[in-house]
């Protein structure tokens, strides 16, 4: 009993003014769930010696909640909303906003996929329809309205296509590669094996020695 009285005497006195000041500073943090915000308010309010606890909590929620929608709802209904009503409304708004966020995120992903598919489709269509004479894509190569029809290529000087669509270098390179491959095959085909060559040389040397 004596120890308890000593503890009460030497313990720092609780100042309800200070505790109420701390209470007024509490606000809902970004991305903080409403229920957690209310718990923090209740914990601090217990030190404030409030007589009208629910009213104090309602005032602080109205002033310091992060949801503008909830604040408008409280102000619109005035004194009709109880603390329980406000908590229920806040939880409902959180669920709706979370679902709406998921819906928008999914919609954005679908739009991105559609844009990629559309871009790829357009490129493929253009590639399929591209005229190999002029590079245009709104007509076929043998169409009479092709601007390259009857025109001379300034690169190969042949008639019927533009310089940008000229395939002369590609064809020339292909012919060169084909020629090289053919020559290599012929060389391998007619090249005499080294062993046979050595035997011929030895035979020639033997015949020469006999003559001598």
Looking at the structure, do residues 78 and 144 belong to the same domain, yes or no?
A: no
Give a yes or no: residue 61 inside a domain.
yes
Rounded to an integer, the average pLDDT of 159-188 is 65
From CA 186, how far away is CA 118, in angstroms rounded? 51
Domain around 154: 129-188
In a domain, 121, yes or no: no
What DSSP letter does each residue of 133-149 carry, written as one string? TT--SSS-TT-TT-TTT
Q: Is the pLDDT of residue 171 over 90?
A: no
Distance, in Å, from the CA atom of 58 to the CA atom of 107, rounded to the nearest integer, reads 37
pLDDT score, position 24:
97
40 assigned to some structural domain: yes
CA–centroid distance for 148 within its chain: 42
Q: Which of 57, 85, 113 is the last residue of a domain?
A: 85
3 pLDDT exceeds 80? no
- What gap in Å lies between CA 60 and CA 20, rounded to an integer? 11
pLDDT in tens, 115-165: 766 666 666 665 556 787 788 777 776 777 788 788 888 888 888 888 888
Question: Is 145 a member of any domain?
Answer: yes
pLDDT of residue 77: 93
Q: Answer whether residue 36 is part of any domain.
A: yes
pLDDT digits (tens, 9 = 90+) for 89-114: 999 999 999 898 777 777 777 676 66
Query: Which residues, in sequence order, are CB contacts of 34 under 8 Å at separation 6+?
Result: 28, 65, 67, 70, 87, 90, 91, 94
Q: How many structural domains comprise the chain?
A: 2
Query: Within a domain: residue 45?
Result: yes
| 48 is a domain residue | yes
Whether 28 is covered by a domain: the verdict is: yes
Residues 80 and 133 placed together within one structural domain of the fold: no
pLDDT in tens, 44-95: 999 999 999 999 999 999 999 999 999 999 999 988 999 999 999 999 999 9
Q: Is the pLDDT of residue 206 over 60?
A: no
Domain boundary among 85, 107, 137: 85
Report how far residue 180's alpha carbon sits from residue 129's, in angstroms, rounded to the nearest whole number: 35
Residue 166 has a pLDDT of 85
- pLDDT of amino acid 149: 82
What was the pLDDT predicted at 18? Answer: 96
On whether both 15 and 81 belong to a single domain, the answer is yes
Higher pLDDT, 130 or 204: 130
**pLDDT confidence tier of residue 191, bands split at 50, 70 and 90:** low
- pLDDT for 100: 87
């Amino acid at each position: 009993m004596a120890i308890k009285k000593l503890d009460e005497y030497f313990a720092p006195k609780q100042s309800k003014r200070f505790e109420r000041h701390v209470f007024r500073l509490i606000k809902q943090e970004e991305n903080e769930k409403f229920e957690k915000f209310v718990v923090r308010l209740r914990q601090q309010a217990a030190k404030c010696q409030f007589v009208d606890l629910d009213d104090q909590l309602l005032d602080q929620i109205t002033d310091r909640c992060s949801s503008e929608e909830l604040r408008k709802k409280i102000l619109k209904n005035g004194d009709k909303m109880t603390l329980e009503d406000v908590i229920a409304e806040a939880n409902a708004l959180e669920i709706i906003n979370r679902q709406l966020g998921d819906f928008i995120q999914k919609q954005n992903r679908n739009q991105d996929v559609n844009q990629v598919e559309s871009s790829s489709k357009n490129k493929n269509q253009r590639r399929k329809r591209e005229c190999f004479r002029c590079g245009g894509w709104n007509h076929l190569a043998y169409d009479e309205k092709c601007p390259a029809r009857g025109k001379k290529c300034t690169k190969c000087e042949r008639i019927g296509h533009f310089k940008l669509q000229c395939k002369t270098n590609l064809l020339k390179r292909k012919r060169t590669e084909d020629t090289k491959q053919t020559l290599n095959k012929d060389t391998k085909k007619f090249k005499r094996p080294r062993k046979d060559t050595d035997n011929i040389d030895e035979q020639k040397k033997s015949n020469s020695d006999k003559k001598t």
